[in-house]
Structures are given as C-alpha cells and as structure tokens.
Structure 1
C-alpha cells in the first residue's frame, strides 16, 4: 500500500511515515513507480511508532527505541529503561497536575467559605 493509503487507512500522519522512511528501518518497503509500498511488517512497526509518540516519546527517542527493537542484539534492558524513564516523567507530570488541582480546590474552598460567612 502507498504512503497515502497507509496514512488514510490507519490514520498515521504523513510526518510519521516520512520519519520512518528517513530512519532506513523500513522492512520490505520498496519504491514502485515512485511511491513507497508498505507491507504488514511495516504497518506493525508503524503501530509501535504511533504508540511511542502517543506515550510522549520525542522523535529521537522513537528512533532510538525502534533501532534497539530491530537490532540483532539483546536490547530488552535498554528498551525497558527507556519505558521506565518515560513512565517516571509521566507520573511526575500527573503529580504536578494533582498539586495544581489541590491548590485550585483550596482557593475555591476559601472563596466559598468567605462567601458563606
């Protein structure tokens, strides 16, 4: 399937497909009459790439992760470390947001308390 078909059918932004192609990690992707052709392996990899982007990985982190994933070496530890690091960052963001909400709730409480007195 072409880049445009893959983008439409699987809702993958063209920018992600361009990244994938630029990394040279394409499996059986080949050019046919000037258009890239994607197979099922490529679509599985693109699904992983989309998941990594959705998790907050930046472009460089996604590329690093994918290179590790597709390496002939044992890279489970490095990939787990990347996932754990990102998980920690997300948890820190969540905790920061929870503190913001608590402060808002306190200010609301103060306003309502003053209003009722």
Structure 2
C-alpha cells in the first residue's frame, strides 16, 4: 500500500506520515524507490501511532512506547505506566482549564449578576 492509499484510510497529513517514517517507527526500510510501502503490520502500527498522536502524546513518548512494542520480552507494565503518566498529565491540564472556566464564570457573575430564574 502506498502513501496515498494509507491517507485514504487514516486522517494524516503528509508531514505527520513523514515524521513517523523519519522517526524510524516501522520495522522495515523504505522501498528501493525511496518511498514507503506499507504492509498489514505497518497499517496496524500506523493505527496505534494515530491513536497515540490523537491523545496528544509527544514523539519522544511515542518512540518509547513503540520501543516497548518491539521488545522480545513482555513490556506491558511499562506501556501501562507510560499511558498512565500521559493520562495524569492530561487530567492536570483539564483541571487547570476547569479553574480558568471557574474564574471566567465568576467574572461573568460579577458583571451580570445571577442569571438564574426562580
């Protein structure tokens, strides 16, 4: 499968797909023509890469996660730990955003007064 066919399956820009290739996240080299040819294993890997990207994981952590995937011994506990670490970071961002919303609501209340109907 070539790049255009892959992009028909996955919502990826050329730059994103190229960054995965340049990071060496696939287990085989590019074809002789210098372009990536994707097999079924690559498509499965790409699905994981898209998911990790969509949850906001940075390239360094993605490389670490894929390294655990490639390891001969079971690295499930390390993958779980990495995902939990990322989850915690997302929760902290969410809580910070909630504090901002609370402050905004307070400012709106001060300006507009209570808008509740009784």
TM-score by length of 2: 0.82
Q: Separation in 2 of the partners of 1:70 and 1:4? A: 26
Gaps of 5+ in 2: none
Question: How far did 1:33 drift?
Answer: 4.3
Query: Per residue, is there more helix in 1 or in 2?
Result: 1
Q: Separation in 2 of the partners of 1:61 and 1:15? A: 19
CA RMSD, Structure 1 to Structure 2 (Å): 2.1
Q: Separation in 2 of the partners of 1:103 and 1:60? A: 34
Gaps of 5+ in 1: none
Question: How far did 1:51 drift?
Answer: 0.6
Query: Per residue, is there more strand in 1 or in 2?
Result: 1
Are 2:36 and 1:42 aligned? Answer: no
Deviations along 1:48-76, whole A, 9 cap, x unmatched? 00110111111111111011112111111
TM-score by length of 1: 0.83
Is the Cα contact below 8 Å between 1:68 and 1:75 reproduced in 2? yes
**Equivalent position SS for 1:31:** coil
1:113 is matched with: 113
Are 2:67 and 1:76 aligned? Answer: no
Deviations along 1:54-99, whole A, 9 cap, x unmatched? 1111111111101111211111111111100000000001111111
2:22 is matched with: 22
Number of aligned residues: 114
